[in-house]
Amino acid sequence: MPDPPRITLLVDGVEVEAPHGAMLVDAAKHGDVEIPVFCYEPKLGHPVGACRMCVVEIEGIPKLQTACSTPVRDGMVVYTQTERVKEAQSAVVEFLLVNHPLDCPVCDKGGECPLQDVAMGWGPGRSRSVDPKRHFQKPIPLSPLIKIDRERCILCYRCVRFSQEVAEDEQLQLLERGSSTFVGTFDNRPYIAPFHGNIIELCPVGALTSDAYRFRARPWDIEDAGTVCTLCPSQCNIKLTVRDERIERVLARDNVDVDDGWLCDKGRFGYQMAESGQRITEPLIRAGGELRPAGWAEALEAAAAGLREAGERTAAIVGGSSSNEDGYLAQRIVRKALGSPHVESRPSGGPGVESRRTGGRGPAGFLRQGLVELSAPRLAASVSDLDRAESILVLGTDPLHSMPILDLRIRKAVRLRGARLAVATDRPSVLDGGAEETARYAPGFVGGFVSALAAELGAAGYERARGELGADAERIAGALKPGSTVIVWAGPDARGLVGCARALRLEEDGAGLIEVPEGANGRGLREVGCLPVAGPGLSDVEQGLDASGIRDALEAGSLEAALLVNADPIRDFAGGPAWGEALGKAKLVLAVSMFEDASTRQADVVFPAESYAEKEGTVTHPDGRLQRLRPGTPHPGGVRPMWEVLAELGALLGEETGVESAPDALAAIASEVPFYAGISHEEIGGTGIRWQERAAARYWPRVDDVGARDEVPGREVEPAGRTAPEPGDTGGRAEDVDGVIRVGTYRDLWAAEVTDRSPALRFLAPRQALELAPRDAARLGLGSGHEVEVRSNGTSVRARVSIHERVKPGSGFLIEGLGDRAASLRGELVEISKAGEPE
Amino acid sequence: MPETRMLYRRVDEPGLASIETYRRRGGYRSLTRTVKEIEPEELLTTLQDSGLRGRGGAGFSMGKKASFLPRGDTDKFLCCNADESEPGAFKDRELMQKNPHQLIEGVAIAAIAAGAGWAFIFIRGEYAEVADILEGAVAEAYGAGFLGADILGSGQRVELVVHRGAGAYICGEETALLDSLEGKRGNPRLKPPFPAIQGLYGGPTLINNVETLSNVPHIVANGADWFKGFGTEQSPGTKVVSVSGCVQRPGNYEIELGIPSRELIYGLAGGPPEGREVKAWFPGGSSAPVLTAAELDLPYSFEALADAGSMLGSGSIIVADDQVSIPALALRTARFYHHESCGKCTPCREGTNWTVKMLERVLSREATPMDLDIIASVQDNIIGHCLCVLGDSMAMPVSSMVKKFRPEFEEYIRRVASDSPGLGSDGAAGLHALTGTSSLAPASGPHA
């Protein structure tokens, strides 16, 4: 997008250059003039001009104007320091303080309070008000995480605007009116919404305070440490508030290309996991059945000995929170020191992964080809492209759960620009309400849907589908604008996307694909070689086993050692508890973990893992942006940097990496990943850099070099199920078999270790629920809250029934990541039986 | 000087509210001509040439405002502001109650002029009975083909909906009205964009007062020059003036703009009761700066009242005689606007609240003369600094009262401070005398 032309205006007699159309408040900053504001916050959308703090004089306009809502034009003459302006601004401060308690000495905001700053800078210095101020009960919980002090509130509207116009949860309201106005919720219900913590940061006074941070520190006690949150693929930029080497708070570190300055509550309150007293802080070695603390030398030696013995019968599972450096070194140890090709980072697969039906042993060329095509720089959309695209397709994922910050970004595109949104998912999405078109396919049949969509878009080689599937695909296709569409997608079976991408001309500017990986650093790990089908830089390697293959091989004894780097497959991978049995059979399980969990219970050696707050390294955002993790707190106890530990382990196994620092580790990656060539910490800087925008992007592998093309584009790999559906009618499949429910699974935002390990978030931990359409619930004689057992092929899961209008009949949905076997039921036809009455 | 009745012509004829009587008296001929003979552009020109100024308060040229709407095929709207809530104003109520079809015809013609296919009458919630009458009349107009998808077979479309407000003064502010009509909290919007460009549901919207639109059929019937024959050069036409407060014959009077104000107050409304004198008067509703007895000879026109530092506003005169305590009147006025402030912008929300507290202290023996300075200064800090005009609506009259009647405030403080008996009741009596006839004045007055 071209930058707006620059214009010149005169602010207090000084020529200021600014972009045309910028708001005067922002334009004035180019001339080092600060105009005070309260309600103005560009992140919240259009200015509202409510607080009146920013009034200034503009030549030619008789009344004072609000600088927050006045776009600048060439030749504009502005005065911000005249008596008239000073009096008006001073009057607004005086008005605001008429009802403000001025309890700064006991207020958490004191010292970092915009009201304090503006009152000192622009206020009259004394109040003429002697009348009683208004009183409220205070502080009271607005939510389990936020306290509200209504006496301090200056009614700037920011929190309410956030709730109504950014998160669109619409729970916060202004109640009553005039000077009796107060912020609250309908019927005093708690404000529970996944992004609600942002209002704490938006509040320009101490009216909204974090329960977890109240009275924990003063601004002069703390230091800010900028890093990146790796609790999900959003990779939001954050600032850790550190006091005495402890994290006390997490704030947004605005990066318009990543997070738009917002955080989800998981990122905001999940820091408590890093500060948990239950962390493993020393290496552990199993002796006599028990894990006991050991020194690093002993533990490294024990691990090396076990790995040496297993040799090529070793597999590595690298978890999504691992940095590029962790992943790179782990795969290098396994591939080079041990000679094993078995490295995996994807809990349930990804593009180009064969299903269990074919045993995950397809030709490596074919699998790599899918990756190379769909992740190619020319098809990549950046997060900011969502601000430009005329249409957006959300396919096979619900960003609220998989990459929360994109949920807000997509809402913004629809709300502020009228972008056309289409949603095609198996499970109803929270974005449905703003979508122009929605389509529901049967759980697991995204591949069939994408093929049908490719056909509707006119892609060569795809046949139009019949029936409901065809009609759905046609509607979705109709909502998409060729050359200006961003597709946000996730899923293992989306090869038809190549056809869609060509037909929609996604290689054009402001269009493209954003794949949401399962792990926070899923993309980075893939690019540094944590795949069974590709090495660093998607290079050609001997093909290894995928996750389920590794599990089966461990179970069968053909693999003997497992290296789990920041991964708990028992919780996070398909198969769940089956991993417990597999790991139990391994001769050596080496786990790198922050906590004792189901997987460390099977471990022989445990290395304590770093939290993201301690880590130094890099991660790669789903849109290709390399970002830096910077240590904000020291490592607790005996925890050491993982790159250092892995480099030492490699050396013990005879693989000298030469890595002696985090920059060394990145340099090693850059030397092996051609499209990262030459990248350094300095270049990545504080806001990151997309590798697609660097010259080295031309070293992305060429599709033609990656082996045979699939000659039958319409033929999709289907998920496991009792019946293999016919091509063309897969979308209607679930309904065809009366009385049968096909189960889909999703990873709920809160079904995560961080929820359990952070006291503030624990109340959000979900219970297993089976979501059903009303028709199916009625047919099965089930009501909301009934306990049921969901069974297939000997796997069973207990759940509570939850009935939803928008669930497609014939579908049912379970939550993954709760430690049960729900993920194993994905795509299965199940039997459901009642196991209890509603509580 | 007699009234000059145009809008109020035959207003007391029984059955005028029915479509038959209205048509028998020539009603809907202008609309019929409009759809059959007049091009919308010509209609706009006529309205602009007539010089008709908005009767809701701001006095902006109606034709000019209509011409601001972009031409072309976008969805455009017309909103009739019938949220008559200003203390002292009750003219629209009588216009709608007794002659609803005159308004409906005006709405339809103005909608066609502006190219608006949808029109809404946003009527004050408390006017439930009037809304019933209006709804009946709208149904009649639909039945007779004067409203709907194809007015009189001309292909012109105007759909009209009567929407009842929920009881907030602020919803008479045009952008708050739009928000309320959209189902949101009725708070004013930041301008620009102005409603003519981006109004209801984001579409170009023409918003006019009941009386303004009621003028339209007459202008179409008789032409712009005929209309300009009434009133003054800058204030053409007639004006319905609600006169209330301390007068013997409160009610609505339709006059030619520009007649001496004294004629209205003394001649038509009978002046204060025997033996009393006018002390202060609001010329344009309770939000207008008060004028004194010395200003009774000002011509009653937009320009003359503006020159005198006040305004014609909605054309509602409230008279306070020598029995009325001005400090009590100031408090009564401030309380109204404090109660009705939406709370969105700081100066209005906090300023009205603070002013009420200070005036309460004036009336409860706790104020000092310095408080009068603060009261005056706070009003100055409100005026011109708010998001909409509600804050000014309190600050302007209160400021004018403190400035013009300061000795009375000071005397009040002194007398109260010396604990002299009787003054408290004085104030209360003044308040009662005023509030008894301000916002709840009889709808009919002398026409009943």
* Confidence (pLDDT) at B81: 97
pLDDT at B420 over 80: no
- Which range marks the domain in which residue A10 is found? 6-81
pLDDT at A356 over 70: no
The last residue of a domain, from among A81, A97, A117: A81
Is A461 a domain residue? yes
Is A252 a domain residue? no
Q: Touching check for B335 and chain A: CB below 8 Å?
A: no
pTM attached to this predicted model: 0.92
**Cα–Cα distance measured from residue B174 to residue B341, given in angstroms and rounded to the nearest whole number:** 15
Q: What is the CATH number of the domain that holds A406?
A: 3.40.228.10
Q: Look at A813-822, B222-231, B338-347, B430-439 and tell me which has the smallest mean pLDDT.
A: B430-439
**B270-288 pLDDT, tens per residue?**
999 999 999 999 999 999 9
**Cα–Cα distance measured from residue A34 to residue A376, given in angstroms and rounded to the nearest whole number:** 44
For B190, the closest of A47, A55, A98 (CB atoms) is A47
Segment (H or E) for A668: helix A662-672
Q: B332 to chain A, minimum CA–CA distance in Å?
A: 17
**A39-60 pLDDT, tens per residue?**
999 999 999 999 999 999 999 9
Residue A838: pLDDT band with limits 50, 70, 90: low
Both A505 and A652 in a single domain? no
How many C-beta neighbours within 10 Å does residue A75 have?
10
User: Any idea how long chain A is?
Assistant: 839
For B343, the closest of A96, A128, A155 (CB atoms) is A155
How many C-beta neighbours within 10 Å does residue B377 have?
16
Both A339 and A387 in a single domain? no
A70 to chain B: closest CA residue: B192
**Cα–Cα distance measured from residue A136 to residue B230, given in angstroms and rounded to the nearest whole number:** 57
Q: What is the dihedral of CA A18, A20, A24, A30, to 10 degrees?
A: -10
For A96, the closest of B185, B190, B350 (CB atoms) is B350
Residue A355: pLDDT band with limits 50, 70, 90: very low
* Confidence (pLDDT) at A349: 63
Residue B415: pLDDT band with limits 50, 70, 90: confident
B168 to chain A: closest CA residue: A177
Q: What is the CATH number of the domain that holds A681?
A: 3.40.50.740
Give the percent of chain B with pLDDT over 90.
85
Both A629 and A556 in a single domain? yes
Q: A255 to chain B, minimum CA–CA distance in Å?
A: 29
**A366-416 pLDDT, tens per residue?**
678 888 889 999 999 999 999 999 999 999 999 999 999 999 999 999 999
Mean pLDDT across the stretch A529-551? 93
* Confidence (pLDDT) at B425: 40
Q: Residue A783 region, left (φ>0) first, then alpha (ψ -120 to 50), else beta?
A: beta
Residue A365: pLDDT band with limits 50, 70, 90: low
* Confidence (pLDDT) at B436: 41
Chain A positions in Cβ-Cβ contact with residue B352 (cut-off 8 Å): 178-179
Chain A positions in Cβ-Cβ contact with residue B168 (cut-off 8 Å): 177
Is A144 a domain residue? no
Both A537 and A611 in a single domain? yes
pLDDT at A576 over 60: yes
Residue A827: pLDDT band with limits 50, 70, 90: confident
pLDDT at B421 over 80: no
pLDDT at A352 over 50: no
Would you call A259 helix, strand, or coil by DSSP?
Answer: coil
**A609-641 pLDDT, tens per residue?**
999 999 999 999 999 999 999 999 999 999 999
Spatial contact of A157 and B344, defined as CB atoms under 8 Å apart = yes
Task: Report ipTM (2 d.p.).
Answer: 0.91
- Residue of B364 and A452 predicted with greater confidence: A452
Both A533 and A498 in a single domain? no
Give the percent of chain A with pLDDT over 90.
85
Mean pLDDT across the stretch A251-279? 97
**B157-186 pLDDT, tens per residue?**
999 999 999 989 999 999 999 999 999 999
Both A469 and A531 in a single domain? no
The strand pair at A811-815 and A741-746 is best described as parallel
**Cα–Cα distance measured from residue A684 to residue A670, given in angstroms and rounded to the nearest whole number:** 13
For B387, the closest of A49, A94, A178 (CB atoms) is A49
For A52, the closest of B343, B347, B357 (CB atoms) is B347
**A194-206 pLDDT, tens per residue?**
999 999 999 999 9
Q: What would the CATH number be for the domain defined by B242-321?
A: 3.10.20.600
Is A232 a domain residue? no
Q: What is the CATH number of the domain that holds A768?
A: 2.40.40.20
**A664-722 pLDDT, tens per residue?**
999 999 999 999 999 999 999 999 999 999 999 999 998 777 764 443 333 344 333 33
**Cα–Cα distance measured from residue A5 to residue B33, given in angstroms and rounded to the nearest whole number:** 51
**Cα–Cα distance measured from residue A103 to residue A123, given in angstroms and rounded to the nearest whole number:** 17
Is A212 a domain residue? no
Both A589 and A455 in a single domain? no
**B140-157 pLDDT, tens per residue?**
999 999 999 999 999 999
One-letter amino acid for residue A212 of the chain: A
Q: A46 to chain B, minimum CA–CA distance in Å?
A: 10
**B18-75 pLDDT, tens per residue?**
999 999 999 999 999 999 999 989 999 999 999 999 998 888 999 999 999 998 888 9
* Confidence (pLDDT) at A189: 96
Both A642 and A739 in a single domain? no
* Confidence (pLDDT) at A351: 54
Domain ranges of chain B: 19-228, 242-321, 326-422
* Confidence (pLDDT) at A823: 85
Among B342, B349, B359, B370, most A C-beta atoms within 10 A, so best to mutate, is: B349
**Cα–Cα distance measured from residue A638 to residue A655, given in angstroms and rounded to the nearest whole number:** 24
Mean pLDDT across the stretch A763-790? 95
**B365-382 pLDDT, tens per residue?**
789 889 999 999 999 999
**B18-29 pLDDT, tens per residue?**
999 999 999 999
Q: A768 to chain B, minimum CA–CA distance in Å?
A: 38
Both A663 and A574 in a single domain? yes
Mean pLDDT across the stretch A252-280? 97
pLDDT at A825 over 60: yes
pLDDT at A831 over 80: yes
- Residue of A574 and A240 predicted with greater confidence: A240
Both A529 and A473 in a single domain? no
With tokens 């000002």, the residue in question is B298
- Residue of B448 and A521 predicted with greater confidence: A521
Residue A487, token pair as written in the block: 């597709």
* Confidence (pLDDT) at A366: 62
pLDDT at B7 over 50: yes
* Confidence (pLDDT) at A718: 39
pLDDT at B361 over 50: yes
* The domain over range B326-422 is classified in CATH as 1.20.1440.230: yes
Residue B46: half-sphere exposure toward Cβ, Cα within 13 Å: 24
Domains identified in chain A, total number: 4
* Confidence (pLDDT) at B1: 62
Residue A693, token pair as written in the block: 């925008």
Both A679 and A777 in a single domain? no
Q: What is the dihedral of CA A533, A538, A541, A543, to 10 degrees?
A: 0
Is A110 a domain residue? no
B189 to chain A: closest CA residue: A48
Residue A461, token pair as written in the block: 């080689």
Say whether B349 and A157 touch across the interface (CB within 8 A). no
CATH class of B19-228: alpha beta
pLDDT at A642 over 90: yes
* Confidence (pLDDT) at A821: 86
Segment (H or E) for A366: helix A364-374
Q: Touching check for A645 and chain B: CB below 8 Å?
A: no
Residue A123: pLDDT band with limits 50, 70, 90: very high
Spatial contact of B56 and B208, defined as CB atoms under 8 Å apart = yes
* Confidence (pLDDT) at B57: 84
Both A671 and A811 in a single domain? no
Residue A34: pLDDT band with limits 50, 70, 90: very high
Q: Touching check for B384 and chain A: CB below 8 Å?
A: yes
* Confidence (pLDDT) at A364: 55
Mean pLDDT across the stretch A763-778? 96
pLDDT at B437 over 80: no
Q: Look at A110-119, A818-827, B52-61, B349-358 and tell me which has the smallest mean pLDDT.
A: A818-827
